[in-house]
Amino acid sequence: MSVWFVSRHPGAIAWAKTQKLGITHWREHLSIEEIAAGDIVIGTLPVHLAAQVCERKARFIALTINVPQSHRGKEISLDQMKSLNCSLQEFFVASQS
């Protein structure tokens, strides 16, 4: 089993490194072909990729943060991530097609 962290944002990466997540692979972009059954994918993914993770019998755990409008489009620092109560939430995503 591998644990993947997927994000291109320095603040998110810094936050993940302060957690005890057992991450074995760090990626800015996910190559779905690398994901195996039983893997855990943590991060921010478009919904269609999250569905593909789940279809491969892996778990998808979203990095969630309520970004205020004033912060949108800007990089968020580690301290800001903490003050905005960044957290992880597991989702099961399935497509209907």
Domains of the chain, by residue range, sit at 3-87
pLDDT digits (tens, 9 = 90+) for 4-28: 999 999 999 999 999 999 999 999 9
Q: What is residue 25's predicted lDDT score, i.e. its pLDDT?
A: 97
How far apart are alpha carbons 59 and 3 in whole angstroms?
Answer: 9
d(CA 13, CA 43) in angstroms, rounded, equals 9
- Total-model pTM: 0.89
pLDDT tens figures, 31-86: 999 999 999 999 999 999 999 999 999 999 999 998 878 878 888 888 888 888 89
pLDDT confidence of residue 11: 93
CA end-to-end span of the chain: 28
Does the structure show a pLDDT above 90 at 97? no
